[in-house]
């Protein structure tokens, strides 16, 4: 019982992930400096697939979770360029099991929609591609809520308690800080990480930074970042060339910070585990005499891989991986877990763009 409760709690949290690849030998040492070629009037069609993997001990579950399509429209803005996301459509393939309760159906659909919508507000960037801000946060919040509430209401079949939980969730998630942070990260994966930097194929850059804890809200922790261009491959580049560059960045909490991250996560999930276990919690845990949850091992990693035009940084393909794994003791029982989310986006360019 403790294990299943813990797995359910752990499944609520998401994280980034990255790795490296080996460049083609003939390209080793080649250098180039990508610019920013997104121009007013461009339209880019995007199609995304999100796949989730959850493994607890020997039990594993994975498969296609959801898909989304949208159009990116570039236009002039007084502060540079407006990167708008239009015609957003989110789909969850397949039907729900007949025995799945309404609250679980609502939770899955709301989570799927939030995963996409929260990453796709309209952005203001400079003419050099630097992120400035999310455009009209109030209007974006209105769009998200009015896209999700009707779906949730239909699935809830008028259940006031479920609708109240949806209201609470949207109020806690759809806030300015979260929207700005997710939008900045997304744009960084496409442009900011790579533009106007001299890259040498096969050479890896390393740096240490401080950033927010990726597991739960808390003080900033240290990260190690490795980034590089692994290779160039043949493609029909949007700028008219015949090669695309493959950029890769891997982000991990520094070893000195992983213990801090684990403790904060244990404190947060321990309370949820106690609440989920209810009356089955042994007195020594419910009365604070023993820790409800401790981590013996915790690994978190983020990976971004981008295939883009090496001149303009117009994207053709983007993969974002979020992974965490570990083991520990929950309510006196050993557990292990592994979760990974893989979000793949393909971009295309209509001929009349």
Q: What share of the chain is helix, strand, coil (3-state, %, to 5)?
A: 30, 40, 30
Q: How confident is the model at residue 12 (pLDDT cuts 50, 70, 90)?
A: very low
- 333-340: average pLDDT: 83
Report whether pLDDT(103) > 60: yes
pLDDT, residue 97, reads: 67
Write out the two tokens for 234: 């043949």
Q: Residue 27 and residue 10: Cα distance in Å, rounded?
A: 42
Q: How confident is the model at residue 83 (pLDDT cuts 50, 70, 90)?
A: very high
- 73-96: average pLDDT: 88
Q: Each residue of 29-52: pLDDT tens digit?
A: 789 999 999 999 999 999 999 887
Q: Residue 352 and residue 350: Cα distance in Å, rounded?
A: 5
Exposure of 242 by Cβ count < 10 A (0-12 exposed, 13-18 middle, 19+ buried)? exposed
pLDDT, residue 21, reads: 35
Q: Do residues 302 and 250 touch, judged by C-beta distance below 8 A?
A: yes
Top-confidence residue, 123 or 114: 123
- 192-208: average pLDDT: 90
Q: Each residue of 224-247: pLDDT tens digit?
A: 889 999 999 999 988 888 999 999
**Alpha-carbon dihedral angle through residues 144, 317, 325, 172, given to the nearest 10 degrees:** -10
- 59-68: average pLDDT: 66
Q: How confident is the model at residue 69 (pLDDT cuts 50, 70, 90)?
A: very high
Q: Residue 241 and residue 260: Cα distance in Å, rounded?
A: 47
Q: Residue 220 and residue 125: Cα distance in Å, rounded?
A: 26
Q: Residue 117 and residue 152: Cα distance in Å, rounded?
A: 15
Q: Residue 348 and residue 106: Cα distance in Å, rounded?
A: 32
- 84-93: average pLDDT: 85
Report whether pLDDT(322) > 50: yes
- Which of 107-116, 145-154, 266-275 has maximum average pLDDT? 145-154
Mean pLDDT of the chain: 78
The set of residues, in sequence order, having a beta carbon less than 8 Å from that of 18 and lying 6+ positions away, is 226, 248, 249, 250, 251, 301, 302, 303, 304, 305, 321
Q: Do residues 94 and 101 touch, judged by C-beta distance below 8 A?
A: no
Please state at what angle helix 102-117 crosses helix 137-156, rounded to 10 degrees. 160
- Looking at the chain, the whole-number percentage of residues with pLDDT higher than 90 is 31
Strands (E), 212-314: 221-234, 243-253, 293-308
Q: Residue 29 and residue 247: Cα distance in Å, rounded?
A: 15
pLDDT, residue 96, reads: 66
pLDDT, residue 2, reads: 37
Q: Residue 220 and residue 243: Cα distance in Å, rounded?
A: 39
Q: How confident is the model at residue 273 (pLDDT cuts 50, 70, 90)?
A: low
């Amino acid at each position: 019982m403790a294990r299943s409760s813990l797995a359910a709690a752990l499944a609520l949290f998401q994280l980034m992930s990255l790795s490296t690849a080996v460049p083609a030998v003939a390209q080793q040492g080649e250098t180039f400096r990508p610019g920013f070629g997104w121009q007013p009037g461009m339209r880019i069609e995007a199609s995304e697939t999100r796949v989730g993997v959850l493994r607890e001990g020997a039990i594993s579950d994975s498969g296609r979770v959801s898909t989304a399509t949208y159009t990116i429209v570039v236009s002039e803005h007084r502060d540079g360029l407006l990167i708008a996301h239009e015609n957003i459509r989110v789909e969850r393939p397949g039907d729900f099991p007949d025995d799945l309760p309404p609250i679980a159906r609502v939770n899955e659909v709301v989570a799927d929609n939030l995963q996409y919508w929260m990453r796709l507000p309209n952005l203001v960037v400079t003419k050099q591609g630097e992120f400035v801000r999310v455009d009209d946060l109030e209007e974006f919040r209105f769009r998200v809520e009015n896209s999700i509430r009707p779906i949730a209401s239909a699935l809830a079949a008028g259940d006031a308690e479920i609708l109240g939980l949806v209201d609470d969730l949207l109020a806690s998630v759809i806030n300015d800080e979260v929207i700005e942070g997710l939008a900045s990260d997304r744009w960084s994966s496409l442009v900011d990480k790579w533009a106007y930097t001299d890259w040498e194929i096969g050479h890896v850059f390393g740096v240490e930074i401080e950033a927010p804890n990726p597991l739960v809200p808390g003080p900033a922790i240290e990260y190690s970042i490795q980034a590089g261009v692994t290779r160039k491959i043949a493609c029909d580049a949007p700028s008219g060339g015949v090669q695309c560059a493959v950029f890769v960045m891997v982000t991990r909490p520094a070893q000195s910070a992983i213990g801090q991250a684990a403790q904060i996560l244990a404190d947060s999930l321990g309370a949820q585990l106690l609440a989920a276990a209810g009356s089955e919690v042994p007195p020594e845990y419910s009365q604070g005499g023993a820790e409800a949850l401790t981590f013996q091992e915790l690994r978190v990693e983020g990976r971004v891989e981008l295939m883009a035009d090496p001149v303009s940084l117009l994207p053709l393909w983007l993969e974002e991986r979020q992974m965490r794994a570990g083991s520990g003791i929950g309510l006196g029982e050993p557990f292990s877990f592994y979760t990974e989310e893989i979000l793949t986006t393909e971009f295309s360019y209509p001929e009349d763009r």
